[in-house]
Structure 1
Amino acid sequence: MDRCDGVRRGTAGASPGERPELARWRERTLASDAVPAADRGIALLWPLAELRVTHGDHIATMRADDLALVDFASSVTLAGATGWTARMLPLDRRVVVPPIDGRNVNAVTSLAGQDPLAGLIRRQWDVGSDLHRLGLADEMVAARLLALIADLAGSLAARNGDGAYSAHTSSLLARAELLIAANLADPAFSPAALAAAMRLSPRHLSSLFAAAGTTATRAILAQRLALARRLLASPAERGRQIASIARAAGFEDQSYFSRVFGKNVGVTPAQFRKTAAGRPSDERIG
């Protein structure tokens, strides 16, 4: 299409060197009179005025307060009347995948501004922006926003004709993984607690993880063990007692932690730490 007043193009790919952090806030303002440099990867787009979006071979119009996920790794053009503005929140693929992928980031499919989910996302986005302006970072606010964005991805996937799994199940799984990560230090956090936090029945939660080929119990244990392995392998945690690391990963009993760790990893926590200490610092462990 012809380049018109207030056009912004993005073609860059995602940067593999960036560290994904839930608390990082990288909001951008797009405007016809101040076109920013190209952005990378997936972003959440919130136009404050009517905006014409060209994404690949598709063209659509977004109205004020509509929301869409855009993959700026592909050719994207934003155009509108003189004076248009939009808010954009870049998202790290390693944080938001699997629910956000190439099937459901087509900006031609957007969520109407009056949709309740769109309202929830905008309000949570505003809270995060306010905290950022005050020099504060709240990971729970960011985690809540990412969970809502996962719901948005599922909704857009459904409108794009994807199956029920990508439209709903993957969205719920993403939320479950975030909730597990946020509660790892709580030894009482169980599948029942996860189901309650997600407002799902235990049976629904069980079928959700069954669709992914696992169970909620195994998903929680996997994240606990992954955290324990990271702490055991970290040079900064070398002087920390193994019992303290076990508690940080949600294991109250060190003996139980050692047994579970040995069964799943193949060595005891002490052996794993000793082996990790002998590896080059840039070698990935686990």
Structure 2
Amino acid sequence: MSGQVLSAWNENVHAACGRFETRYDHCQSLFIGEISTTRVGSTPVAHIRSNANVIAKAGGTTACDSAENCFLVLQRQGEMTIETGDRFLDLRAGDLALLDSAQAVKMMPKGLFSHVSIHLPRELFKGLDRPRYGKLSTAGVCGQLLGTLVRQVAAGELAHWSCPQDGDGLQGALVSLLESVLEYRVSDHSPGLQLHEVQSIILQRLDSPRLTPASLAEELGISSRQLYRLFEARGDSVCRYILRERLLKAAQDLRDPACANRSITDIGTYWGFADSAHFSKTFKKQMGITPSAYRSESR
């Protein structure tokens, strides 16, 4: 295998999704790149699996792009960070996102990933503000319906029901649901959101350096004010909760014999602390002992 494999992959991606270019920094024989396209009615669906380091597209549309699309993405497996404009989105398995083809998009997978991209005409989202693109909340009824429908498309569960009369039906259903789901991102009233649900998402995101109250509120589709109020109602704060859980995870690693070869700096950085000094100071303030002393006592 050689660079021809990557070249063929890029050509297939161009045909399916537009002018995305792929970078792979390791031995070419280890590169994995699989892409297939289907249609549900008239709606194109791309199934993508790869271990690429970077998959990126410059902003704007070109003559090489056969259509101007928005991409409704379901992350099926693996993780990636997506840079779009001046924003960073962390996608994990199960996450949904709406991406605009006219913006620069840079996908940075963390190892092998697979996702499904449903292509929707960009003209259907005419006038949609750029900040509204990004990760989608599924907190409300329409969010749940959207997630269920996209997962059915991704799994191929609807294929045997397909008929010529379907036409733009799927496209229309997705766009109608998205009209409500996109409102979650700006509304101050995310339907049915409970504190335990927020805490569960925080625990899934603890190792992300970009986990902040602002990014969490954006992901949940609520305002920062509402997020703070959820915790304040229980006499807590979102910042204190994130800090406590990160320290507990770090302490667990410091005690774990399997992490004995990892440095204290590495453990602190992994759990979201900017540097070793910040980690040590915060750990001692909360635990009453330095990380190194804590590790020694555990041994």
Q: Same fold per TM (> 0.5)?
A: no
Tell me the TM-score normalised to structure 1 length.
0.39
TM-score by length of 2: 0.38
